[in-house]
């Protein structure tokens, strides 16, 4: 059976660091409160001159270098983001040109909020399995601080900017993406959303309609229950016992959600990749950043079984079971 295997990984975090102590100067909160509730102690913020595609470019270049291939070897580009450079062209199309990827290769963005990278990974795997692509580039890149209300203490403490990427290739071996599971339920729209878009008029940018709005406690409850179900679905579909999972690589939104998911898997926290403290919630970028971090520091090794999962606005959620 042909499936997509991970050939190389890469990530990038902007240089500017905003600590919890910096946030204390903006809103009524404290370093201790943020750490206890979220596990976050700092986040990265893009420079004024940077856009989503700039972050994606560096992460992608590092993934290509890790994979030992060049842009000309890529035949599909998917960028997962909810903060693209522009409405169109897609960030993926511009990235294709900047990396000198062959003209004509399909390139497009996927918008599924924090689940975006899992969605993009699942889509790329389907391209490979169908024979439509042999070496995709999948990127999760976000400039979430551009849609933050820095006066809202419920959201400004949570999010940061960054990008992560993987190069995939077709493989006939047992390694690679074993299965992916993608879901959505739009009935939860009012719990986590940005109430602005072209259809609602550009005048919305004159107030705070272009910023994230979230009902945090309700999102937390739904996220924990939903991630438990997607984990069970992933294991049952592949006929894998939870004891066989070597690493859980969750969406880096909140340490309490991560701990709850690990508990359901009966997986000790030292087998869970946690990077949320260093960069906060980077939405679609968080899973590939965590993956690259653990690959580069030697924790994740070839042949190990990885479970990646994410939950985001929409609501969207998904998982990917991968033999690395």
List residues with catalytic annotation.
114, 251, 281
SS3 content of the chain, % helix, strand, coil (to 5): 40, 25, 35
Q: Which residues of 208-236 are buried (b: 16+ CB within 10 A; e: fewer)?
A: eebbbbbeeeebbebbbebbeebbeebbe
Q: Dig out the tokens for 132 from the structure.
A: 């439509």
Q: Are strands 136-143 and 161-171 parallel, antiparallel or unpaired?
A: antiparallel
Place of tokens 């291939």: 69
Q: Where are the alpha helices (DSSP H) in the chain?
A: 20-24, 31-38, 52-67, 91-98, 116-130, 216-238, 255-265, 276-279, 286-296
- Can you spell out the DSSP letters for 241-292? -GGG--EEEE--S-HHHHHHHHHHHT--GGGB---HHHH-B-GGGHHHHHHH
Strand order in the sheet with 247-250: 176-184, 316-323, 305-312, 247-250
Place of tokens 């999972």: 245
Element (H, E) at 154: none
| Those residues with Cβ within 8 angstroms of residue 221's Cβ, 6 or more apart along the chain or in another chain | none
**Which of these, 322, 35, 311, 281, lies nearest to 142 by C-alpha position?**
281
Tell me, what DSSP letter sits at residue 91? Answer: H
CA atoms within 13 A on the CB side of 29: 28
């Amino acid at each position: 059976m042909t499936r997509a295997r991970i050939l190389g990984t890469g990530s990038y975090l902007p240089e500017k660091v905003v600590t919890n102590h910096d946030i204390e100067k903006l809103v009524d909160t404290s370093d201790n409160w943020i750490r206890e509730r979220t596990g976050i102690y700092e986040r990265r913020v893009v420079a004024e001159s940077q856009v989503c595609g700039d972050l994606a470019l560096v992460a992608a270049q590092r993934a290509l270098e890790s994979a030992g291939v060049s842009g000309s070897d890529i035949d599909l580009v998917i960028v997962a983001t909810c903060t693209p450079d522009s409405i169109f062209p897609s960030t993926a199309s511009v990235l294709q040109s900047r990396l000198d990827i062959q003209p004509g290769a399909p390139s497009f963005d996927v918008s599924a909020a924090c689940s975006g990278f899992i969605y993009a990974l699942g889509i790329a795997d389907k391209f490979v399995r169908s024979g439509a692509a042999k070496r995709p580039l999948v990127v999760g890149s976000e400039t979430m601080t551009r849609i933050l209300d820095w006066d809202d203490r419920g959201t400004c403490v949570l999010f940061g900017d960054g990008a992560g990427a993987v190069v995939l290739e077709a493989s006939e071996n047992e390694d690679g993406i074993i299965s992916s599971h993608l879901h959505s339920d739009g009935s939860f729209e009012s719990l986590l959303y940005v109430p602005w878009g072209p259809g609602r008029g550009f005048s919305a940018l004159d107030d705070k309609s272009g910023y994230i709005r979230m009902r945090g406690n309700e999102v937390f409850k739904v996220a924990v229950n939903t991630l438990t179900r997607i984990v069970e679905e992933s294991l049952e579909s592949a006929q894998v016992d939870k004891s066989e999972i070597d690493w859980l690589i969750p969406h880096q939104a909140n340490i309490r959600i991560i701990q709850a998911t690990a508990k359901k898997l009966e997986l000790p926290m030292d087998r869970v990749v946690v990077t949320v403290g260093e960069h906060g919630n980077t939405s679609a970028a968080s899973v590939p950043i965590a993956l690259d971090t653990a690959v580069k520091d030697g924790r994740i090794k070839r042949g190990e079984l990885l479970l990646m999962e994410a939950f985001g606005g929409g609501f969207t959620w998904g998982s990917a079971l991968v033999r690395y």
